[in-house]
């Protein structure tokens, strides 16, 4: 027999009893997860029972007479662009008319969940939605029609659709998060289901729609996302496991990726979907799955092309760090347990590394789905520890990068979580969310101190440069005529170096030019 231990475990009566307990617990947990969603569904039922004309609240005659306004069972409607673009929640699919064009993305832009998470949609999906809306608004055939983005009664799809509509307003209509959010919640609009982390069990941290809109706004302000330069095809290519499984969290600064393996191969490992089937069907015989793994060398070409100079490993050692180091990359190990939060010393080391590294930093963690990890996972479920991540480059990676964002860009914890999940879905789970909330104030204070010290250092550097230029000029005389050109070169070098970092005035330029001239004799 190929797996005698596995065969013994499967046929062991105690193991079967344990599986029964697991199955009952999961059924209870899954039922509990949907309580909040069912509550919203009940509220939507109450709202839609009013049988109000779908767009009467918007006070637009062409929409009031659109086909299916009553048949579609309105839940809510909002005007995004006056007399042109609308967002509505309907119970059933409407039909476009000569005056109104309906479209939906509920079955087109779909969030690929890990566990109980359902959004927000990723950057590529947001970008494609913006392109879709822009195309419709510019379409000649739709020029005289009201364009209505409708979403279904499903609370999760409705939240994702609202996120896209709100983000579109921020990106293309230049509205503030509050201005974009206001029409989405006006009138009789029911509340939106808040987002949650990618874990089992009850949700302990609610991420609101407004949090996500603030995150998009801050990201645009700091140039983390640009509609004109973002490439959705590239994003979707590299986020796939077979192509590296990585995403830029902060362009040119932080790349989150799945941990490398000793060698590239197709490994037999357990996928998350199979794990769910295992826990529900109580059958460990379906554990095998072909899963692509990548050696460190597989990342070298992309890293070099995009300026990655440093790798930070947060998981246990699975490959020799010298393989990165011998290729010219810096490598640091900052291990802490999967699903947990970093110690203060690890956080400090991470921030120090990031603040003293030239080039981008690739950060990874990795939890391998082995038989031992599955047993550990089952144990944590039974002890109500739902935050054992079976994913790569998400929990620990996102948590540390999030601290950097709060320190250097003054993101709130909620904005940080929202942006990182938009850039790399599934990031930051369980207690890591509360950890960021707890660290928010201290990161802000440390960031203020850091920026003050940097500014003081620049001021000191400028004074040193000025004194050096002056001393070089004063040192020029007729006796060292042969060395004057060298003095000039020094002064010009100082000026050129300082111009890019500090910036000298026109007077500084004149003094540099003066250094080239020889003083005239007094006689």
User: How do residues 433-442 score in pLDDT, each as one tens digit?
Assistant: 999 999 999 9
For residue 384, the model assigns a pLDDT of 44
Residue 203: pLDDT over 80? yes
Residue 350 or residue 269, greater confidence? 350
Residue 220 lies in a domain: no
Lowest mean pLDDT among 18-22, 125-129, 413-417: 18-22
3-state secondary structure of 498: helix
For residue 458, the model assigns a pLDDT of 76
Residues 362 and 491 occupy one common structural domain:
no
Q: Angle, to 10 degrees, between the axis of helix 371-382 and the axis of helix 13-33?
A: 60
Band (pLDDT 50/70/90 cuts) for residue 178 is very high
Cα distances from 125 to residues 108, 120, 168, in angstroms, run 9, 10, 12
Q: Which of 18-22, 254-258, 492-496 has maximum average pLDDT? A: 254-258
Residue 437 lies in a domain: no
Residue 445 lies in a domain: no
Residues 45 and 2 occupy one common structural domain:
no
For residue 135, the model assigns a pLDDT of 98
Residues 72 and 140 occupy one common structural domain:
yes
Boundary of a domain, candidates 185, 218, 245: 185
For residue 13, the model assigns a pLDDT of 60
Residue 413 lies in a domain: yes
Work out the average pLDDT over 405-416.
Answer: 99
For residue 452, the model assigns a pLDDT of 95
Residues 412 and 368 occupy one common structural domain:
yes
Residues 270 and 396 occupy one common structural domain:
yes
Residue 519 lies in a domain: no
For residue 72, the model assigns a pLDDT of 64
Residues 363 and 489 occupy one common structural domain:
no
Residues 345 and 263 occupy one common structural domain:
yes
Report how many domains make up the chain.
4
For residue 394, the model assigns a pLDDT of 78
Kind and range of the H or E element at 259? none
Work out the average pLDDT over 304-309.
Answer: 97
For residue 49, the model assigns a pLDDT of 43
Catalytic residues: 365
3-state secondary structure of 314: coil
Q: 53 with 73: CB under 8 angstroms? A: no
Residues 20 and 63 occupy one common structural domain:
no
Closest Cα partner for 316 from 376, 366, 263? Answer: 366
Give 153's DSSP letter: S
For residue 513, the model assigns a pLDDT of 38
For residue 505, the model assigns a pLDDT of 35
Band (pLDDT 50/70/90 cuts) for residue 109 is very high
Residue 190: pLDDT over 70? yes
Residues 5 and 42 occupy one common structural domain:
no
Residues 42 and 175 occupy one common structural domain:
yes
The residues with which 366 forms a beta bridge, in sequence order, are: 392
Q: 100 with 66: CB under 8 angstroms? A: yes
Residue 430 or residue 372, greater confidence? 430
| CA separation for the pair 131, 372 (Å, rounded) | 46
Residues 420 and 492 occupy one common structural domain:
no
Residue 326 or residue 497, greater confidence? 326
What range does the domain containing 28 cover?
Answer: 1-33
For residue 496, the model assigns a pLDDT of 45
Work out the average pLDDT over 25-48.
Answer: 51
Query: Phi and psi (nearest 5°) for 148?
Result: -120, 115
Half-sphere exposure of 415 (CA within 13 A, CB side): 20
Q: Which of 59-68, 71-80, 283-292 has maximum average pLDDT? A: 71-80
Work out the average pLDDT over 398-406.
Answer: 98
Distance of CA 382 to the CA centre of its chain: 31
For residue 199, the model assigns a pLDDT of 87
Work out the average pLDDT over 3-20.
Answer: 58
Work out the average pLDDT over 11-35.
Answer: 57
Residue 347 lies in a domain: yes
Residue 466 lies in a domain: yes
Residue 440 lies in a domain: no
* pTM of the complete model beyond 0.75: no
CATH value at residue 114: 3.90.190.10
| CA separation for the pair 56, 60 (Å, rounded) | 7
Residues 318 and 177 occupy one common structural domain:
no
Q: Are strands 100-103 and 85-90 parallel, antiparallel or unpaired?
A: unpaired
């Amino acid at each position: 027999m190929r797996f005698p231990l596995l065969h013994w475990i499967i046929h062991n009566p105690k193991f079967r009893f344990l599986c029964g307990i697991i199955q009952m617990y999961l059924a209870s947990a899954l039922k509990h997860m949907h309580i909040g969603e069912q509550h919203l569904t009940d509220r939507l039922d109450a709202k839609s029972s009013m049988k109000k004309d779908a767009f009467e609240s918007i006070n637009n005659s062409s929409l009031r007479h659109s086909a299916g306004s009553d048949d579609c069972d309105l839940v809510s409607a909002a005007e995004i662009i006056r007399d042109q673009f609308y967002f509505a929640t309907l119970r059933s699919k409407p039909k476009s008319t000569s005056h109104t064009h309906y479209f939906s993305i509920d079955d087109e832009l779909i969030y690929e969940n890990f566990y109980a998470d359902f959004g927000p949609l990723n950057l590529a999906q947001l970008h494609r939605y913006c392109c879709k809306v822009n195309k419709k608004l510019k379409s000649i055939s739709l020029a005289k029609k009201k364009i209505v983005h409708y979403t279904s009664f499903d609370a999760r799809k409705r939240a994702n659709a609202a996120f896209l509509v709100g983000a579109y307003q921020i990106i293309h209509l230049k509205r503030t998060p509050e201005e974009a959010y206001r029409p989405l919640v006006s009138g009789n609009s029911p509340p939106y289901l808040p987002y949650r982390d990618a874990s089992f069990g009850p949700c302990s941290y609610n991420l609101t729609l407004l949090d996500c809109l603030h995150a998009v706004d801050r990201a645009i302000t700091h140039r983390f996302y640009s509609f004109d330069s973002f490439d959705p095809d590239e994003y979707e290519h590299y986020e796939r496991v077979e192509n590296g499984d990585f995403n830029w969290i902060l362009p040119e600064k932080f790349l989150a990726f799945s941990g490398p393996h000793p060698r590239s191969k197709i490994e037999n490992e357990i996928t998350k979907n199979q794990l769910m089937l295992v826990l529900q069907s109580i059958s460990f015989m379906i554990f095998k799955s072909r899963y692509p793994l990548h050696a460190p060398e597989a990342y070298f070409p992309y890293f070099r092309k995009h300026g990655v100079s440093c790798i930070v490993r947060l998981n246990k050692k699975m490959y020799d760090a010298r393989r990165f180091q011998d290729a010219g990359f810096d490598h640091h190990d900052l291990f802490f347990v999967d699903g947990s939060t970093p110690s203060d010393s690890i956080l400090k080391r991470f921030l120090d590394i990031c603040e003293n590294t030239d080039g981008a930093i690739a950060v990874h963690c990795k939890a391998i789905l082995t038989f031992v990890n599955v047993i550990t996972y089952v144990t944590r479920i039974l002890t109500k520890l739902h935050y054992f991540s079976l994913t790569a480059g998400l929990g620990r990676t996102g948590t540390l990068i999030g601290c950097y964002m709060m320190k250097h860009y003054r993101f709130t914890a909620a904005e940080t979580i929202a942006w990182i999940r938009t850039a790399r879905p599934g990031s930051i789970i369980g207690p890591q969310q509360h950890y960021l909330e707890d660290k928010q104030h201290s990161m802000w204070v440390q960031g203020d101190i850091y920026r003050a010290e940097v500014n003081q250092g620049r001021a000191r550097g400028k004074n040193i440069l000025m004194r050096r230029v002056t001393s070089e000029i004063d040192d020029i005389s007729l006796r060292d005529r042969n060395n004057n050109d060298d003095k000039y070169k020094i002064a010009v070098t100082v000026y050129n170096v300082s111009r890019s970092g500090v910036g000298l005035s026109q007077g500084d330029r004149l003094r540099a030019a003066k250094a080239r001239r020889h003083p005239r004799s007094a006689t």
